[in-house]
Structure 1
Amino acid sequence: MSTTTVPSVTTRHPAPTDHDHNRDDDHDWTRLVAAVQRSGQYATRQKAERTTRTVLSALGAHVIGDERVDLARALPEEAARLIASQIPATHPLTAAEFVDEVASRTAGATPATARWDVSSVLSVLPPLIGDALVTRILAQLPAGYALLFGRADLTPTP
């Protein structure tokens, strides 16, 4: 136990436990899903959570190496599991192909709704993971992903 002393008040706080860490992680996951819900203007938390899971799972197959490890470390544990549990893709997808892949994983999705879903999730990541990591991730992905992360795509097209 730790002790906090304030003039005329002494409060005892239990030492942090793994259970507390899980509670914090649950809170972080809830905040991530809430950010996606706001970004995507989804009517329900369940829709935002499904979308978050689908997009992060797809992303996990396409971010590799140190960037994948650092991305997983920067996200809540639940999101990290989604990233880390994917088998790395054998070839990189263009941004449009990535959106099509997400559409194929989402019942009733069209390319337009999948693009909305992908942007709704990826655009909330930069404040969580930092601009430097986003830049590293974008450097390893084909051109076109920057817009999905809410950044201007300044890469010249061939």
Structure 2
Amino acid sequence: MTLRWEAFLDQVQERGQYGTHEEAERAARTVLALLGAHLVGDIRAELAARLPDTFALILLNPLQSAEPLSPERFVRATAAWIEGATEQTATWDVSAVLSVTADVAGQKLTRRALLQLPPGYDLLFGRPDPT
């Protein structure tokens, strides 16, 4: 299921409690660009196929990452890319975007994506692992 641009941003805006679509879009662009650097192969392509076109392109043409970032470093990197962000606001941004992304991806694809990521991302995706 591919979500339309407006619907995706509406959900990010609601979860992140952003005042405008622009704030939601800035968070989505940054978080998905960083996420794309951590996912490879079929999983990145399948996730991109479920996102609105603009966000799919961002995921498929990611910012480069020399190594997989721990969840904490992912949040710090997000804070560094969003003007005026703190680690606290960046955690909010990451969770808003990744939880909507997980909803769009569905449970199976989200689980497969989490296997490519360092431990702890399940919380950022709003999918705490019960194990």
Q: Same fold (TM over 0.5)?
A: yes
Equivalent residue number for residue 135 of structure 1: 111
With 107-116 and 79-88 compared, the bigger mean Cα shift is at: 79-88
Equivalent residue number for residue 117 of structure 1: 93
Given the alignment, which residue of 23, 26, 38 partners 2:14?
38
Given the alignment, which residue of 24, 27, 39 partners 1:51?
27
Equivalent residue number for residue 29 of structure 1: 5
Write out aligned runs for 1:83-94 (5 A): 83-86=59-62, 89-94=65-70
Using the size of structure 2 for normalisation, the TM-score is: 0.92
Structure 1 residue ranges (4+ consecutive) displaced by more than 2 angstroms after TM superposition: 87-90
Given the alignment, which residue of 63, 81, 88 partners 1:105?
81
1:123 partner SS: helix
Identity of aligned residues (%): 46
Does the 8 Å contact 1:33/1:49 carry over to 2?
yes
2:124 corresponds to which letter in structure 1?
A: L
Q: Distance in 2 between matches of 1:58 and 1:138?
A: 14
Q: How many residues align?
A: 130
Unpaired stretches in structure 1, ≥5 consecutive residues: 1-24
Deviations 1:14-56 (A, max 9, x none): xxxxxxxxxxx8x801110110000011011111111111111
Unpaired stretches in structure 2, ≥5 consecutive residues: none
More helix by share: 2
Given the alignment, which residue of 54, 72, 81 partners 1:78?
54
Q: Which has the larger radius of gyration?
A: 1
